[in-house]
Chains A and B, each alone.
Chain A
């Protein structure tokens, strides 16, 4: 009897998990389906069977060109992530292993910068970018995305580092390891899952960031978020083309997430069952 209940529960949880997963994934799936419809089909209402036309992908490519914004997205998201990690690893190390009585306040202050609506600093940022000739440059967007995601990176790394026993680092110091060796050869290998998941999450956040990347770029540094925005229109039919542009924009990050999901999950649950 007990065994039957267990099986029933297993079946229930399996079905429920699949249902929730499908529910979460459905908008992406429907975007892909819509991208394979004609514009007339797309506006005719809900339908799961498209006519499998690839016309929208061709149009999207010929109208705006995919490669340039794709490369901009790659450079900006990877660049901002690497710079953020370079700054955040030492910062998180210091806060995790040599905390002071103000460490918590500093962490809260860093996080509080994320609470401010971005539009509140749009004009000052725009003026700074104008005066430093960073408008519509990859460097400018890389810098701004580094700054935006830095608090999250520091927080995540701080949480991971806190899970590493301080005694191990002490032992390394007693064995004569320098600070550099301690971070590079002792701490970093132990925190690789955490650093990897932080890196992946930060790339995803930077890839999807739309507010600043649309407003601080024009024709040269516009990433894929701006590419998608160019297909929306208040007059005329555009759903299928917009879906094709969205599919092309999310495909690289979806593939990257798929292949690195084990690393991502390992990092996100790092220390959770300690």
Chain B
């Protein structure tokens, strides 16, 4: 009995010593399905790396962005791994706030990363963040409603076709809206969609001298089209609808078409939550006439190491584990192929099991391959970014312009007034920031 107690005490002491010796990584992340799943699977990492412990800080996207920005800008050093978007990566990398990720291990197949995603996370060909999952935008539509309207979705739809189909599908008596699009104000909400739409109409945020372009005919045409379409075929109260609200409407069978992030595919096709799971099909984001620009929407959630972290080696080990090919296989073995984080690796889209499990996979890949954030629109631009402009000022400007455009959808303003105000506010902010001399 004495010996048993002694042995137990020794084991406890050893465990305590190991815990004391272990490095603890603090990981800041967002609350979405893929990230929560990763948290559940971290036993795999800690069992392979017993000297590293993990603790998580999960926050809503905007709170996290603000929180992490404060910490990294002041070199607070509270986090060792950050979850950030491809909007922040080039800006922060140029500021010297992120560590270069050139040494993620010999087994880490960096060339397997999708070129568009890798390009968005690199500065001067150096990778500063590893993608955890990526998305572009696509058209999600109801096959039964389109058929009922006597129309067939083309492989590459135009906005003209979408407008006609949406109006035909709309049936106010049964609560069916032809189209559901984002209207809620915010640079990552309605402005993500409207910027992609504007790109496809040939509009641009700024000319080569950083002069705002809201006074140009392309913007007027794009915004007028969006407003008219929402008025004729959109849901009531659309100015309050973001991704989640439109997802709910679509899942409840109240939308004929929905243009949004490719990540919506797994939600609308899940019969557990969606009443229309067996009537959904996907195609690329529409373009305008012959312009053949599909908006160039490209977003990824990525893991990066702040320059202020004292545990860079352990942090890189974790990032390598979470974004490696082996991780997708781990998720597939535990949760099925449909639940693996999409949009980061070419090999995933060559995997037959994944292609079989995810009907939206080929459209997602096509959309991501087509997205070019260095040339987001038809005319030349001085910035990068598809559904955003990758400059630090864009969060503020984008949200203000988003509020102006949302007010038009709510019937509180007109297209002309909103564009005039957007032009004036953006010019003022860009002058203050020193872009316009």
Given contacts A214-B59, A222-B57, contact A234 B188 (CB under 8 A): yes
Give the contacts of A167-221 with B (CB-CB under 8 A): 214-215, 218-220
- Evaluate contact between A234 and B28: CB separation under 8 angstroms: no
Q: Considering the chains assembled together, what is the distance between the CA atoms of A220 and B26 in angstroms?
A: 10
Q: Please give me the residue from chain A that is nearest to B76 by CB atom.
A: A130
CA distance A44 to B55 in the complex (A): 35
Binary contact track B235-260/A, C-beta < 8 Å → 1, others 0: 00000001110001000100000000
In-complex Cβ contact of A234 among B75, B243, B248, B267 (8 A):
B243
B67–chain A nearest beta-carbon distance, Å: 6
B339 to chain A, nearest CB (A): 13
Query: Contact residue range for chain A?
Result: 20 to 34
Is A236 interfacial (CB-CB < 8 Å)? yes
Instruction: Assess A135 versus B58: contact at CB under 8 Å? Given A214-B63, A219-B26, A234-B188.
Output: no
Residue of chain B at shortest CB distance from A43: B248
Say yes or no: A126 contacts B76, CB within 8 Å.
Answer: yes
Query: Closest approach, in angstroms, between the C-beta of A53 and any C-beta of chain B?
Result: 14
Query: Which residues of A are found within 8 Å of B267, using beta-carbon distances?
Result: 236
* CB of B268, distance to nearest CB on chain A (Å): 12
The one of A63, A219, A220 in contact with B36, judged by C-beta atoms closer than 8 angstroms, is A63
Query: Are B67 and A215 in touch, CB under 8 angstroms?
Result: yes
Contact A218 B78, beta carbon cutoff 8 Å: yes
Chain B 259-298, CB-CB to A under 8 Å as 1, else 0, gives 0010100010000110000000000000000000000000
Please give, as numbers and ranges, the residues of chain B lying within 8 Å of A215 by CB-CB distance: 66-67, 70
Q: Which residues of B contact A130 (CB under 8 A)?
A: 74-77
- Distance (Å) between the CB of B82 and the closest chain A CB? 12
Establish whether residues A233 and B31, one from each chain, have CB atoms under 8 Å apart when the complex forms: yes
Are B60 and A218 in contact (CB-based, < 8 A)? no
**Taking CB as reference atom, which chain A residue is nearest B77?**
A130
User: Is there an interface contact between B244 and A123, defined as CB atoms closer than 8 Å?
Assistant: no
Measured CB to CB, the closest approach of chain A to B228, in angstroms, equals: 27
Residues of A within 8 A of B188 (CB): 234
A220 vs B79: C-alpha distance when bound (angstroms): 12
Within 8 Å by CB of A219, from B33, B55, B76, B263, lies B55
Chain B positions 75-94 with a Cβ under 8 Å from a chain A Cβ:
75-79
Partner of A39, one of B32, B75, B273: B273
Give the chain B neighbours of A229 by CB distance below 8 A.
59-60, 63
Task: Indicate if the CB atoms of A40 and B31 lie closer than 8 Å.
Answer: no
Interface presence of B56 (CB below 8 A): yes
User: Could you tell me if A236 and B32 are in contact, using CB atoms closer than 8 angstroms?
Assistant: yes
Q: Does B102 contact A (CB under 8 A)?
A: no
Residues of A within 8 A of B58 (CB): 64, 230
Closest B residue to A59 by beta carbon equals B36
User: Would you call B429 an interface residue if the criterion is a C-beta within 8 Å of the partner chain's C-beta atoms?
Assistant: no
Complex Cα distance A229/B59, Å? Answer: 6
Contact B78 A40, beta carbon cutoff 8 Å: no
- Name which residue of chain A comes closest to B30, CB basis: A233
Given A123-B70, A126-B76, A218-B57, check contact A40 B273 (CB 8 Å): yes
The complex places the Cα of A218 from the Cα of B308 at a distance, in Å, of 15
Contact of A233 among B26, B32, B76, B78 (CB under 8 A): B32
- Shortest C-beta distance, B341 to chain A (Å), equals 13
A132 within 8 A of B: no
Report how many A-B pairs have Cβ atoms within 8 Å: 83
Taken together as a complex, chains A and B put the C-alpha atoms of A235 and B262 apart, in Å, by: 12
Q: Mark A118-147, 1 if CB is under 8 A from B, else 0.
A: 000011001100100001100000000000
The contact size tier of chain B is 35 or more
Q: Which residues of A contact B26 (CB under 8 A)?
A: 218-219
| A66: Cβ under 8 A from any B Cβ | no
Q: Select one of A63, A64, A136, A234 contacting B78, CB under 8 A.
A: A136
A144 to B423: give the CA distance in the assembly, Å. 42
Cβ 8 A contact of B39, one of A40, A63, A235: A63
**Would you call B61 an interface residue if the criterion is a C-beta within 8 Å of the partner chain's C-beta atoms?**
yes
B33-A236 in contact (CB<8A)? yes
Inter-chain CA distance A63–B36, complex, in Å, is: 8
With A and B bound together, what is the CA distance between A43 and B249 in angstroms?
A: 9
Report the Cα distance A122→B273, complex, angstroms: 41
Q: What does the 1/0 interface line of B113-135 toward A look like (CB < 8 Å)?
A: 00000000000000000000000
A232 touches B31 (CB 8 A): yes
A237 within 8 A of B: yes
Return the CB mask of B26-70 against A: 1 if under 8 Å, else 0.
101011110010010000000000000001111111110011001
- Specify the chain A residue showing the minimal Cβ separation from B184: A234
Report yes or no: A234 in contact with B59, Cβ–Cβ below 8 A.
no
List chain B residues, Cβ under 8 A from A136: 78
How far, in whole Å, are A235 and B184 apart by their CA atoms in the complex?
Answer: 13
B125 to chain A minimum Cβ distance, whole angstroms, is 31
Which residues of the partner chain B approach A127 to less than 8 Å between Cβ atoms? 74
Complex alpha-carbon distance, A40 and B57, angstroms: 26
A231 within 8 A of B: yes
Q: Nearest residue in A to B243 (C-beta to C-beta)?
A: A235
Q: Which residues of B contact A40 (CB under 8 A)?
A: 272-273
Q: Tell me the chain A residues, 55-78 only, with Cβ under 8 Å from chain B.
A: 63-64
* A238 interface residue (CB < 8 Å to B): yes
Interchain CA distance A229-B30 in the complex, whole Å: 10
Given contacts A127-B74, A214-B63, contact A234 B244 (CB under 8 A): yes
Known A-B contacts: A130-B75, A222-B57, A232-B63. Give 19 more (CB < 8 A): A40-B272, A64-B56, A122-B70, A126-B70, A130-B76, A214-B63, A218-B28, A218-B79, A226-B59, A229-B59, A229-B60, A229-B63, A230-B59, A230-B60, A234-B61, A234-B188, A235-B244, A237-B273, A238-B31
Would you list 28 pairs from A and B whose C-beta atoms are within 8 A, ordered by A residue?
Answer: A39-B273, A40-B272, A44-B252, A123-B70, A123-B73, A126-B76, A130-B77, A135-B76, A214-B67, A218-B28, A218-B78, A219-B55, A219-B57, A226-B59, A229-B60, A229-B63, A232-B31, A232-B60, A233-B31, A234-B60, A234-B62, A234-B188, A234-B242, A235-B243, A235-B244, A235-B263, A236-B244, A238-B31
What residues of chain A have their CB less than 8 Å away from a CB belonging to chain B?
39-40, 43-44, 63-64, 122-123, 126-127, 130, 135-136, 214-215, 218-220, 222, 226, 229-238
